[in-house]
């Protein structure tokens, strides 16, 4: 069965796939993230995500957390650069309970001053924990440099100075400016009939007043190649190489997903894993990541190695990038690469929670959910010549930047 979609009068959309499972997954994805923060609001979206569980007009924090936990279920949330998500995993009989609770924390949270100050300290500890992890920190710093002058480059966690300045009034103003009903999607994967789910969601979400907003693209390409070395006194050298890439609506993104998977995806036979780890033993952790945003994108290649092997590793990575630009994949190589990518996608979407998140994100961006068959057909259209073209555009050595922790 494919996804079913319904739009309430206030603009909130509902997307659902009925599956035969005793466990259901449901989340509300809001198109507000760290990139929506102004210069004096760094960390605001993430702080609000924490505070959603700290009290509503009818529940205290303990009662919010216990509402799902008491029936063996859970409620959680996350913040990214472009969205905030509140979601729940529960036994299939508790859809009403989950929807009512998510509606309550989204629309009725009161943001008590005492809880605001407490969560500031919690997040500052989270920021310090990230600073203790070079692997986490280096990606944040690389994106800040690559997205120079754009809010999308800011760390999701924010900064201690700005966090300490936030007041309840500032939080409410941010919500008023950024939480809009036509930029909210309820995404569900579970055994409930769609008609019943629509009635429940109507009760708890459809009756909210409409708050509509038309999002404008705000990215300005200020990218300038950089080569930066930072003293971190770590046991390993940590290195990120990368470049800006295609946005989430660019048709060439499929070719880049394929190249990225071939280069340093999760497969142990990825080119970087084979050349850096298996063949030479230079690195334990090595991967390549492509993140596509609404109006831009970024691709990162990461590895950690001994200081004495840094130059050898960067040389090997550059050689692999050159291969992608100058050596056309044979018919068999291309077929294997496509099968591997579609296989990874199919396995990921076999997990119903992943399917719920993916469908919600797709509805936010495209107002539809493509089936795995549709995506596979698009991947099948990729040619070896297109891969070479994309590799020349993205892996041009004159556009590759470096950030190194030594």
Query: 4-206 domain in CATH 3.30.450.80?
Result: no
pLDDT tens, residue order, the chain (406 aa): 589 999 999 999 999 999 999 999 999 999 999 999 999 999 999 999 999 999 999 999 999 999 999 999 999 999 999 999 999 999 999 999 999 999 999 999 999 999 999 999 999 999 999 999 999 999 999 999 999 999 999 999 999 999 999 999 999 999 999 999 999 999 999 999 999 999 999 999 999 999 998 877 679 999 999 999 999 988 999 999 999 999 999 999 999 999 999 999 999 999 999 999 999 999 999 999 999 999 999 999 999 999 999 999 999 999 999 999 999 999 999 999 999 999 999 999 999 999 999 999 999 999 999 999 999 999 999 999 999 999 999 999 999 999 999 9
What is the DSSP track for 275-291?
A: IIIIIT--EEEEEEEEE
Residues 166, 120: contact at Cβ < 8 Å? yes
- Is 273 in contact with 303 (CB distance < 8 Å)? no
Place of tokens 């004096």: 40
Q: How many CA atoms lie within 13 A of 313 on its CB side?
A: 30
Whose CA is closest to 79, among 24, 41, 134? Answer: 41
Instruction: State the pTM of this model.
Output: 0.95
Question: Taking the domains of the chain in order of start, what are their residue ranges?
Answer: 4-206, 227-405
The architecture in CATH of the region 227-405 reads 2-Layer Sandwich (3.30)
381 contacts 314 by C-beta, under 8 angstroms: no
Question: How long is the chain?
Answer: 406
Q: Among 46, 347, 288, 310, which Cα is nearest to 171's? A: 46
Which token pair is 87? 């979601």
């Amino acid at each position: 069965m494919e996804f079913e979609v319904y739009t309430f009068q206030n603009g909130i959309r509902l997307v659902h796939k009925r599956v035969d499972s005793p466990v259901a997954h449901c989340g509300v994805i809001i198109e507000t993230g760290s990139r929506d923060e102004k210069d004096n609001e760094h960390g605001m979206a993430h702080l609000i995500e924490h505070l959603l569980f700290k009290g509503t007009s009818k529940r205290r924090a303990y009662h919010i957390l216990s509402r799902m936990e008491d029936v063996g279920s859970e409620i959680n949330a996350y913040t990214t650069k472009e969205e905030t998500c509140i979601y729940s995993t529960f036994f299939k009989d508790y859809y009403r309970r989950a929807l009512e609770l998510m509606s309550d924390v989204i629309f009725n949270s009161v943001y008590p001053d005492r809880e605001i100050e407490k969560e500031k300290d919690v997040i500052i500890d989270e920021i310090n924990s990230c600073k203790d992890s070079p692997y986490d920190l280096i990606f944040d710093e690389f994106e800040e440099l690559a997205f120079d002058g754009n809010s999308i480059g800011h760390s999701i966690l924010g900064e201690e100075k700005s966090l300490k300045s936030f007041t309840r009034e500032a939080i409410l103003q941010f919500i008023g400016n950024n939480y809009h009903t036509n930029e909210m999607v309820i995404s569900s994967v579970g055994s409930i009939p769609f008609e019943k789910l629509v009635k429940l969601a109507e009760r708890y979400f459809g009756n909210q007043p409409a708050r509509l907003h038309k999002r404008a693209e705000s990215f300005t390409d200020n990218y300038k190649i950089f080569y930066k070395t930072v003293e971190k006194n770590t046991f390993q050298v940590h290195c990120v190489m990368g470049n800006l890439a295609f946005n989430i609506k660019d048709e060439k993104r499929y070719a880049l997903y394929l190249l990225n998977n071939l280069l340093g995806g999760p497969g142990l036979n990825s080119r970087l894993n084979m050349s850096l780890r298996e063949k030479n033993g230079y690195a334990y952790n090595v991967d390549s990541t492509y993140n596509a945003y609404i109006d831009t994108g970024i691709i990162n290649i990461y590895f950690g190695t001994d200081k004495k092997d840094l130059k050898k590793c960067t040389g090997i990575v550059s050689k692999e990038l050159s291969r992608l630009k100058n050596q056309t994949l044979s018919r068999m190589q291309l077929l294997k690469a496509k099968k591997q990518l579609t296989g990874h996608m199919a396995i990921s979407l076999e997990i119903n929670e992943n399917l719920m998140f993916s469908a919600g994100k797709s509805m936010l961006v495209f107002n539809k959910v493509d089936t795995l068959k549709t995506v596979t057909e698009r991947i099948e259209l990729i040619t070896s010549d297109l891969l070479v073209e994309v590799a020349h555009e993205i892996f041009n050595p004159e556009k590759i930047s470096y950030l190194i922790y030594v």
